[in-house]
Amino acid sequence: MQENVQSNDLALLGQSVEQLLLELPERISSPLWRWRRETPGALALCDHLGHRCTYEALAQRVEQCQAQLRELGVRPGDRVLLLNENCVTVLVWVLALSELDAVSVVVNARLTAQEIDRIQSHCEPRLTVCFLDSAAAGEHWQALSRTTAGLEIEQHGARVGVLRHSKSVPLEQGRDAVQDRVCVMIYTTGTTGDPKGVMLSHRNILYVAAITSVLRGMDPSDRIYCVLPVSHIFGLSAVFLASLYRGAALILADRFDAAGSLQAMREYEATGMLGVPTMFARFIEYARAHGLSSDAMPRLRFLYAGGAPLDATIKRETEALFQLPLLNAYGMTESGPTICQVRWNEPLASCSVGRPLPGLDIRIVDSRGQMVAAGDVGELHVRGPNVMKGYYRNAAATAGVIDQEGFLNTGDLVREDEGGNLHIAGRSKELIIHSGFNVYPPEVEAAIARHPDVLLCAVVGEPADGNELVVAYVQCKLGRTLTAKALQDFIRPALSPYKRPSRIEVLEQLPTAPSGKVLKARLRGLRSDRPPREEVKA
């Protein structure tokens, strides 16, 4: 079986993985120049704002942006914080920074001011850039520019706000080969709630872009619909840069709306879409509410799910609605992101995430670090060209997840079937994935615990229609009372909308161990066996 699997991947790739790695271009921006030469008039990018450019126009915009960045004093190794929602302009900046050997720190503009301040303080960027066509970024710009002098520039009809920071020190990367230099940093708050900058190199991302795009059967005729945020590695690497690598067109949207997404895919004649399971659930709900059949759906070539566990019902109903297999994939920020992917020409009936990408070594181990028996569940460790260089300025955290042999501990529990396909069994960490976004309970708990009336709190994930809800359980201090609404109001400034609890339950008493640690495993049972004192929807 494994022999056939390897030969099929070889047929798709058209060469060995070793040869593909040798032929990877230097930078994530390098494929742009190839398509400028070969298909200059082909559509490269368009967005919901009406910005549209061919490969020739995109190349010109990148060159102009490079010149502006030099004038702004950007040096190799500088971090540049890009506060954005999906638009053509932010991708121009990512490519221009790549050409200058600088580092794009892509940050979602929907984060709160406190969250952005923590990231900015940690990465110490040379510039903080707000893409002002985003209302969320515009609000941050107004606040930031009140304390630091900034300038506004216009780029092909788009407004950009730029703040300069004098104390930034460049990363020392001169001795590394270009492919091994850090080009992108994505921040994840981690299980401690502290921001951690995942440092990804050109090679990390180009490997994922090259392999995943080929395993989807992509070519320059494709038009890929992208509503996944490019501030997250799924949207940036596995969608945008994979499309660029194959010379395809990318259709950008900044917010997901079932009706709007279906209309855009039809209007632009999209051939593929990648999304989180909740997006597909909303398509199903919308079609059902409006009496739409498969005939009303856009004529796509492929659909991919990722970023969260895929529910069997959502898979089945999506496939019936679009008359296409819903193909699954799995990864994490620290692996650039893709680790496993169902091949476009080998659809699976199950919700498996498919086989590991060619070129990866995997181990499935027990709690003692020993390999588990075939078919048993264990923790997934992976090694390969996609594994990050480490966490920025956090050697201890890096050593905690990457061992001396270069294996990354994903913290996820999996089992491997006879065909070599992996099935996600759960997470060994407490990570909650809500609508495709990572939510770490300690960060939410820390925000709740700051309320003066809170004694204990615990945050858990609760499965709901292919998604996970963030649910908080709270115990008040003796003699104090607190409503769920008051607590939601209190934490709103500190947490992004996707991190805020979908439900807060205020209980008389949380279950605790003798040590005082809250026993989270008992909380779901408490809801049914002992009704909370108050429950208010967020």
Band of residue 515 on the pLDDT scale cut at 50, 70, 90: very low
pLDDT band at 517 (very low <50, low <70, confident <90, very high): low
Report whether CATH 1.20.810.10 matches the domain 432-537: no
Q: Which of 478, 23, 43 is nearest to 249 (CA)?
A: 43
Asked whether the predicted pLDDT for residue 225 surpasses 60, the reply is yes
Cβ atoms 319, 349 nearer than 8 A = no
As a whole number, mean pLDDT of residues 454-464 equals 86
pLDDT of residue 6: 60
C-alpha 380: how far from chain center = 19
CB-count burial class (<10 Å; 0-12, 13-18, 19+) for 191: middle
Helix (H) or strand (E) holding 316: helix 312-322
Name the percent of the chain lying above pLDDT 90: 72
Q: Where are the domains of the chain?
A: 2-416, 432-537
Tell me whether domains 2-416 and 432-537 share a fold.
no
pLDDT, residue 449, reads 85
Work out the percent of the chain whose per-residue pLDDT is above 70. Answer: 93
Two structure tokens written together for 394: 């956090």
Terminal Cα distance for the chain, rounded: 49
Per-residue model confidence (pLDDT) at position 528: 35
Q: Are strands 103-108 and 79-84 parallel, antiparallel or unpaired?
A: parallel
pLDDT in tens, 334-383: 999 999 999 999 999 999 999 999 999 999 999 899 999 999 989 999 99
Q: How far apart are CA 466 and CA 151, in angstroms?
A: 44
Grade residue 438 by pLDDT with cuts at 50, 70 and 90.
confident
CATH number 3.40.50.12780 is the correct assignment for the domain at 2-416: yes
Structural element, H or E, at residue 40: none
User: What's this model's pTM, rounded to 2 decimal places?
Assistant: 0.85
Please check the confidence at residue 3 and state whether its pLDDT lies above 70: no
DSSP letter for 120, please: H
Q: Identity (one letter) of the amino acid at 393?
A: R
What pLDDT score does 367 carry? 82
Each residue's pLDDT tens digit, 269-299: 999 999 988 889 889 989 988 999 999 999 9
> Which is higher by pLDDT, 167 or 240?
240
Taking alpha carbons only, the member of 503, 398, 424 closest to residue 459 is: 503
User: With DSSP H G I counted as helix, E B as strand and the rest as coil, what are the percentages for the chain, rounded to 5?
Assistant: 35, 30, 35
Q: What is the DSSP letter of 24?
A: -
pLDDT-based confidence at residue 516 (cuts at 50, 70, 90)? very low
Mean pLDDT of 327-339: 97
Is 298 in contact with 262 (CB distance < 8 Å)? Answer: yes
CA dihedral 376, 378, 383, 385 (to 10 degrees): 80
- Per-residue pLDDT for 308 more than 90? no
